[in-house]
Each structure stands twice: as C-alpha cells, then as structure tokens.
C-alpha cells in the first residue's frame, strides 16, 4: 500500500499550535532567529528550516554530548546553525556546508546578526566536494541536505567521527512515505538506504523519532558511534 503524505491531515493546525506553545515556553526565538526566517523567505528559500523546538533539541544535543566541534551538512539560511552555534562553549565551532552560494551569503548575514559568526565556518560547495577537505573528528554531525545523497553523507560522517560522536539525520519520515519500499522518489530511496546503513553498521547504535508539529509529520534519526 502506498500511503499518501499526510501533511493535509486535519490535525496539522493543532500540531502547529502545540509547537507554538512549547516554543513560547521552552524554546523562545529571539529577534535574530525570527529575522533569519524572514530573510530566508525573502530570499525565496524553501521553508525547510527546523522548527524552534527542533532547533532547541539540536542545541540540547550539543550540550548533552559536550560537543566542541559540530559539522552540519546543509546550511540553507543558517537557522539550525544558529541554534547549535549558540549552544557551543566559547572555544566551540560549527562547520556548515551549503551548495548554493546565494543561500550561503544569506546564512552568513544571519549568523552575523545572531552574533555567532565567530563560531560558524560556512563552506560553500557541494557537500561531496567539501567533505573530503575537512579534518575530523567532529563531536556532533547533523545531516540535513539533499536526501538522495544521505548514504554518501553518512559514509563521510563516519570518516569524520570518533567513538562517541552523535550523528543526527533530519527528515527521515517524509509524511510516512519512508515505509514505501517500492518508492521511486529519490529522497525516500536515499532515506531508506541511509536507514539500512544505520541498521547494519555495527559501529552505530541508532534510533528514529517521528515528530508532528508546524513542519507536519516528519522525524529524525539519532545515532552514536561506538567504535
């Protein structure tokens, strides 16, 4: 059975208002984060940023893992970058890769506005070109770029990791389409191959969490590198 993506689900407005409630109470956005979303919209970017509560979740993962070096694959306008950069200790840094030079420029401006440029190193170029130039190990790696390339990004993440590194993969539910084993959608296929790799790699311990909220029905994987 092919399930249709459920973004039109009648509960979506309710999910969004619960997100707004939790965000207001637990993950408030300051002017810089709000302006970042406005700048991204003005630049015509897709609204693929994480939500505020997801941004706070990533920030907490940075804190929980005591990460000093973070790698993000897929900057977009830097919204998640800012959440994670702000969670870093004073000597921490985040390297973030963006394929689109215009988006990278907007992201750089956003990081400046959010007063975290000193911690953010934006690398412009295809991740497959940039990743071989990087020096590990990173303490936390957030994979959030073009989904068909997820398997390649995971291979690189493993090369740039150490035992204890946390690897997070965004958008692994795709409105439920992830369960369609015959899907011809490149993103679904990329995510399914990524999940297979997480499942079979003996150096990784992983789980996946579905989420609902202002971004509809989606979810993230979380893995730790064992050895």
Contact positions vs ligand DHB (CB under 6 A): 48, 144, 147, 170-171, 187
Write down the least CB distance from residue 29 to ligand DHB, Å: 17
Write down the least CB distance from residue 80 to Mg ion, Å: 8
Which of 95, 171, 211, 221 contacts Mg ion by CB under 5 A? Answer: 171
Which of 152, 170, 188, 221 contacts Mg ion by CB under 5 A? Answer: 170
Query: What DSSP string describes 187-226?
Result: HHHHHHHHHHHHHH-TTEEEEEEEEEETTEEEEEEEEEE-
Per residue, what are the HEC states of 95-120? EEEECCHHHHHHHHHHHHHCCCHHHE
Write down the least CB distance from residue 65 to Mg ion, Å: 19
* 147 touches, from Mg ion, ligand DHB, none (C-beta below 5 to 8 Å by class): ligand DHB
Return d(Cα 95, Cα 26) in angstroms, integer.
26
Dihedral-angle region of residue 174 (phi above 0 means left; psi in -120 to 50 means alpha; beta otherwise): left
Write down the least CB distance from residue 6 to ligand DHB, Å: 14
In angstroms and rounded to an integer, the radius of gyration of the C-alpha atoms of the chain is 17
Minimum CB distance to ligand DHB smaller for 48 or for 68: 48
Asked if 214 and 16 touch (Cβ cutoff 8 Å), the reply is yes
Return d(Cα 72, Cα 127) in angstroms, integer.
10
The binding track of 11-50 with respect to Mg ion, each residue x by CB under 5 A or -, is ----------------------------------------
Site for Mg ion in 103-162 (CB under 5 A): 144
Q: Which residues bind Mg ion (CB under 5 A)?
A: 144, 170-171
């Amino acid at each position: 059975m092919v399930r249709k993506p459920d973004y039109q689900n009648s509960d979506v407005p309710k999910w969004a208002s619960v997100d707004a409630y939790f965000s207001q109470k637990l993950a408030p956005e300051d002017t810089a984060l709000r302006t970042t979303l406005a700048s991204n919209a003005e630049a015509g970017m897709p609204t693929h940023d994480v939500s505020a509560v997801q941004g706070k979740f990533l920030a907490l993962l940075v804190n929980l893992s005591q990460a000093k070096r973070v790698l993000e694959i897929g900057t977009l306008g830097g919204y998640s970058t800012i959440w994670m950069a702000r969670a870093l200790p004073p000597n921490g840094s985040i390297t973030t890769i963006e394929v689109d030079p215009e988006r990278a420029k907007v992201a750089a401006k956003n990081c400046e506005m959010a007063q975290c440029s000193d911690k953010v190193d934006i690398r412009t170029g295809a991740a497959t070109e940039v990743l071989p130039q990087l020096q590990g190990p990173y303490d936390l790696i957030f994979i959030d770029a073009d989904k068909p390339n997820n398997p390649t990004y995971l291979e690189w993440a493993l090369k740039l990791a150490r035992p204890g590194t946390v690897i997070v993969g965004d958008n692994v539910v795709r409105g439920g389409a992830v369960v369609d084993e015959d899907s011809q959608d490149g993103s679904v296929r990329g995510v399914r191959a990524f999940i297979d790799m997480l499942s079979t790699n003996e150096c990784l311990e992983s789980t996946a969490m579905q989420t609902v909220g202002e971004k509809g029905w989606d979810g993230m994987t979380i893995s730790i590198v064992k050895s």
